[in-house]
Amino acid sequence: MIHSRNLPFVTTLAIFVIAYALCALQFPAMLSTRVIGNLLVDNAFLGIAAVGMTFVILSGGIDLSIGSVIAFTSVFVAVAVGSFGLHPLTAFALVLVISTAFGSAMGAMIRYLQIPPFVVTLAGMFLARGAAYLISTQSVPISHPFIDSVQEFYFRFPGGGRLTAMSMLMIAVFVIGGIIASRTKFGANVYALGGNPQSAELMGVPVGRTTIGIYATSGFLSGLAGIVYTFYTSSGYSLATVGVELDAIAAVVIGGTLLTGGTGLIAGTFVGILIQGLIQTYIVFDGTLSSWWTKIVIGILLFVFIVLQRGIIWYSNRRIDIARLKGA
């Protein structure tokens, strides 16, 4: 039997499978490994950022700074490697430290100054974007033997599809994220916070440490997403990835995570990313549709899922009430 808390995830999965089947019926080529490989590569940075966003939303928060941190990271890496001649690995390490510290600072403000996450991360969004402009307002191309070799590294599927290093990284992030969420104390604490922060605190959850950890994770993964984005575009540009945080939120919610926190799965977010990628792929295959149809379909899906979640909550409350009446 499906527990009602997994129902949103199962629904998402069913929608993806059905939608993919319909697409494949119309364009059999969409079944090819090449399409799947591209779908993963195109959404690798978004997927990584969405894992961080899933933790944040599970805890009942929100992180609006993700898109700006990705842009900052890509510009930082491009300039550090291009203008200052740092080895890419050094630049990566530096930028991950910065983005993690940035996330931790936002988490600390949310916890200790009791400022709503929306406000803190909105400020973080402007700050990171501004810092990116400060480094460079131009698109900075990046080329380095190390980066080229990573870009050329991939496994070949039968049928010509490629599983690139970036796709593998995204999948690894999802797997590790899933394990952290479901199999560690930190993960359990995140769900507890999202359920009810007062209860969580009374049950002995270290609320401060957990909150900082959540936003640090999101900051780290935004930095990692920024690095992946740099590989993906071979450049750093401060105007890039505007609004990516909203795409990430959409993926999380379509993946069945409650925006109010406490319920959801990392795996759901993966399916959410796949659905977004599928829509984009379909539009490319169709060739006549405007790319804005992606946004329209995502919008419709979001509405459907929010209503679905309300319905599930209503239904399970009703079931409890009925059980109670019968018991009385």
Partner 1 sequence: MTDPQNTPEAVTVLEARAIAKSFLGNIALDNVDFSLKRGEIHALLGENGAGKSTLIKILTGVYTRDSGTIRLDGAEVSPANVGEAQVLGIGTVYQEVNLLENLTVAENLFLGRQPRRFGLTDRREMRRRSRELLARYGLDIDVDALLSTYSVAIRQIIAIARAVDLSGKVLVLDEPTASLDAQEVEVLFSMLRKLKADGLGIILITHFLNQVYAVADRVTVLRNGKLVGSRDLDGLPRMELISMMLGRELQHVTRDHQASEGDVPAGDAAIHFSDYGKRGSVSPFDLAIRPGEVVGVAGLLGSGRSETAFLLFGIDRADSGTATVDGREIALTSPEAAIANGFGFCPEERKTDGIIGDFSVAENIALALQARQGWAKPIPSRKKQALAEEFIRSLDIRPADPDRPIKFLSGGNQQKAILARWLATNPRLLILDEPTRGIDIGAHAEILKMIEKLCAEGMSLVVISSELEELTAIAHRVIVLSDRKHIAELSGAEVTADNIMHAIAAPNRTEAA
Residues near partner 1, by CB under 8 A: 3-5, 179, 182-185, 187-189, 191-192, 194-196, 198-206, 262-263, 316, 319-320, 323-324, 327-328
- For 236, the 3-state DSSP assignment is strand
Strand locations in 103-173, DSSP E? 140-141, 154-156, 162-164
Of 168, 191, 164, give the one whose Cα is nearest residue 266. Answer: 191
- For 164, the 3-state DSSP assignment is strand
Q: Quote the DSSP letter at residue 101.
A: H
Instruction: Name which of 28 and 327 has its Cβ closer to partner 1.
Output: 327
Instruction: Name which of 80 and 200 has its Cβ closer to partner 1.
Output: 200
CB of 122 to partner 1, least distance (A): 24
Instruction: Name which of 3 and 84 has its Cβ closer to partner 1.
Output: 3
Q: How far apart are CA 261 and CA 309, in angstroms?
A: 12
Q: Which pair of structure tokens corresponds to residue 219?
A: 């900051």
CB of 100 to partner 1, least distance (A): 22
Instruction: Name which of 5 and 295 has its Cβ closer to partner 1.
Output: 5
Q: How far apart are CA 320 and CA 82, in angstroms?
A: 61
Q: How far apart are CA 40 and CA 174, in angstroms?
A: 12
Instruction: Name which of 31 and 188 has its Cβ closer to partner 1.
Output: 188
CB of 64 to partner 1, least distance (A): 24
CB of 311 to partner 1, least distance (A): 16
CB of 319 to partner 1, least distance (A): 7
φ, ψ (nearest 5 deg) of residue 166: -65, -40
